[in-house]
Copies of this chain bind each other. A is one copy, B any other.
Amino acid sequence: MESSDLRKLGLKVTLPRIKILEILAASAVHLSAEDIYRQLLEHGEDIGLATVYRVLTQFEAASLVRRHHFEGGTAVFELNRGEHHDHIVCMDCGKVEEFLDCGIESRQLDVAKKLGFQVEEHNLILYGRCRRKNCPHRRTDS
């Protein structure tokens, strides 16, 4: 149960928060606020879009979820499962893969230090084309 997680964050355990957490936990892909809202409606829940945004923002502040801005104005969210990773996005089908490269990570710190900065966080997104037979070569949109 994630209820304990919520309580630890000083957040009341409410239906919207539990449901949103469940949806995020069940999803293999990154979801937008609208995506989550739509799923809630499909599940018969009567939860407002504003609440979805509010909850996601709180979860982000609590490091429970991560917010990403891929192409297009819409933000997407994923559950923070602990291990940091960066993303590569297929420009044809929209597929997102995660990766972690220690070399890149450590070089970032080096570069920053050389410039007199102390890195707090970073944002790395690779855009490319996945050369797979099943790549539809056009985004089907979730």
Instruction: Tell me if A122 is interfacial: C-beta within 8 Å of chain B.
Output: yes
Q: Which of A103-142 contact B (CB under 8 A)?
A: 103-104, 107-108, 110-112, 115-132
Cβ-closest chain B residue relative to A109 = B126
Counting chain B CB atoms within 10 Å of each CB, the highest count among A108, A115, A117, A124 belongs to: A117
The reply to whether A119 and B115 contact each other, CB–CB distance below 8 Å, is: no
Chain B, Cβ-Cβ closest to A129: B118
A73 → chain B closest CB, angstroms: 8
Interface size class of A (residues with CB under 8 A): 20 to 34
Cβ of A101 under 8 Å from chain B:
yes
- A104 — which chain B residues lie within 8 A by C-beta? 104, 107-108, 111
Question: Which of B90, B120, B122, B124 sits near A117, CB closer than 8 Å?
Answer: B90
Contact between A111 and B123 (Cβ–Cβ < 8 Å)?
A: no
A88 CB contacts on chain B under 8 angstroms = 111-112, 115, 117, 119
Bound Cα distance A107, B124 (Å): 12
CB–CB B112/A101 < 8 A: no
Q: Cβ of A99: which chain B residues have Cβ within 8 Å of it?
A: 111, 115
Q: Is A24 an interface residue (CB 8 A)?
A: no
User: Given the complex of chains A and B, what is the CA–CA distance between A131 and B112 in angstroms?
Assistant: 11
